[in-house]
Structure 1
């Protein structure tokens, strides 16, 4: 006697239901490197929940069975990137990636599991409680990856610089003076110290020079990327703004990528994390520190650009002085300038015009 093939609960659920356009289905996926946890919200409740290996094509085949009723497929942004959402969209299925920081969380975290996470995502999608991230094209993501590579390399170089200073302090060795340069590196290599300490210091300096060379290579690649037809016009517009050079223009272009998705200046300040936290209670409204959402490196570069703008443009100094008078805080004033640069660049690109202090609103 031969045994029939065992049918899983998932397969039984798909076969038992006759899905029509009148049904409402939302799919939540908890995505991991080795496995996916999937929950299907069907007409107001979880109809099916299961786990599977992390196979995008297999998941697509499952979802195709409920295509006629499907409203949305959602998963949280994470290390697995955008390959799944791109595959689903290429099959003309509605799919979104969820902003993790803006997802509602349960107060009781003791019951947190992957199975519950995917069920929550499906339920929150059905109830309209999720915020989605913008999905870059593969080309936009590739360009952004090179920009972020430079950020990573400069962070590693900065770490080595701190290690060298800590090393000198630890061994009571005087700093030879000057900023980091080839001359300073040579002075450090010629310090009168023991052979063991000289060997250790040499390893730090070799690592520093290695990262300098890699940063130079990366910047050469970035010049090639952003001089291409898809970027050159935008970069020219950005660099017309006082204080904005290649590095800031590249970072802004890569991180904002599709500038037309923003419809108002408030969205720019929120996206860059340069807007203050607002606390309302009754008739009172209190402005706290900036939200610091979004990419920290972009925010830091906009602040650097704000200082350069302040030094070069009397118009910027007027704005800074007004902000300083209103807030009584120099840091808040310079952050206010940085926010204005972010908004200016967005508005200039939307209008297709170069910077003009008389035209740009402040």
Structure 2
């Protein structure tokens, strides 16, 4: 005989007990869309819009959700909020935590979405997806998403030094190329704008046929030099502030940046970027370190298909670019280290092919080795240290 099972009034996922008020924030430049689910409301999602940047209305809306849940159930419930990491940074997250509200910032790329060729995408749909992701995360579902770990205000502010310098260097290259390009049209190809005597050499400069430079072209280049000299002064000021920060950090314990400077081939800029962009954080294992820099491997295996897709590139792009550059220089300055010897052996075994691919692998190994060095003091085998 078959046993009759009574059909529940609602699906199990809907009938679950909700012990908090879950809220997702879909942020845009004009409006903030709040999607919420509260106890005693039939576990239905409700949505409210507030003007972007208006914290007062946001907190009023959250307080109203709390009041309605209290009126329905006679109990007070905590509020848990989720938002995507994006243009707004972490200031909303900090404002919520300052009010005693549990807040989470999620990596939007880690949330599963339908893989149809055409799928609907609106703020309302995204808000509901965020809310379901938050509820699954609080239920303890493994790997449902990747939550970001927001840096402190001090940590975030320190990183601006290296990022500002990189922006200024790119602007300097643009100005130098602009000046050289203008002079190249006149046949003057030996002018170096970065030399200290650039003004005097501009006055004495001649075209390719020996004529003086046209007056308006000379005026244009003079104004370009004004911009260039301003950039050089700003770069010098940023580097002085960076060196002061390194000197201050070297007096603290553990002095991660000072430890990195001990290696031959790692200067103040490399040490600053490695420290401020990655190694100031705490990691549980080497896989987390590689994943944070976007250097973790991404295998593709299904049935008889097995191939590697290369580095994930899902981490910090500034840290990853610096490590690739450092890997090239590491081979030059540390030719007897175990990492360099491993790289050379692999290149030789592959007949000189896939050199760039192996360099990415070297960058990943180098990052893990430097992380072990600053956390445990384990020196890279065969590495040469700077003399005092």
The TM tier, using the shorter chain, reads 0.7 to 0.9
**Alignment match, 2:22:** 26
Per the normalisation by structure 1, the TM-score is 0.81
1:281 and 1:191, CA in 2 relative to 1: closer, same or farther beyond 3 A? farther
2:124 match: secondary structure? helix
Aligned length: 338
Per the normalisation by structure 2, the TM-score is 0.76
1:70 and 1:278, CA in 2 relative to 1: closer, same or farther beyond 3 A? farther
Task: Note the residue ranges of structure 2 that are not aligned, 5 or more in a row.
Answer: 1-16, 70-74, 138-143, 207-212
Shift of 1:108: 6.8
Task: Note the residue ranges of structure 1 that are not aligned, 5 or more in a row.
Answer: 1-20
**Alignment match, 2:375:** 350
Q: State the structure with more CA Rg.
A: 2
Deviation readout 1:291-335 (Å, 9 max, x if unpaired): 223333322222222222211211143122023235522222322
**Alignment match, 1:241:** 263
Deviation readout 1:60-92 (Å, 9 max, x if unpaired): 344352695447311111222212111222333
Task: Identify the range of structure 1 (230-239 vs 72-81) with the bigger mean alpha-carbon deviation.
Answer: 230-239
Deviation readout 1:174-208 (Å, 9 max, x if unpaired): 43177954356764564312222222222333222
| 1:144 maps to 2:159 | yes
Q: Distance in 1 between matches of 2:25 and 2:87?
A: 14
State how 1:170-181 maps to structure 2 within 5 Å: 171=185, 173-176=187-190, 180-181=194-195
Task: Identify the range of structure 1 (327-336 vs 106-115) with the bigger mean alpha-carbon deviation.
Answer: 106-115
Relative to total residues, which structure has the larger helix share, 1 or 2? 1
Q: Distance in 2 between matches of 1:102 and 1:72?
A: 19
**Alignment match, 1:321:** 344
Superposed CA RMSD in Å reads 3.1
Shift of 1:105: 3.9
Q: Distance in 1 between matches of 2:298 and 2:203?
A: 48
Q: Is the 8 A contact 2:20 2:80 kept in 1?
A: no
Shift of 1:140: 0.6
| 1:275 maps to 2:296 | yes
| 1:76 maps to 2:84 | yes
1:50 and 1:214, CA in 2 relative to 1: closer, same or farther beyond 3 A? same
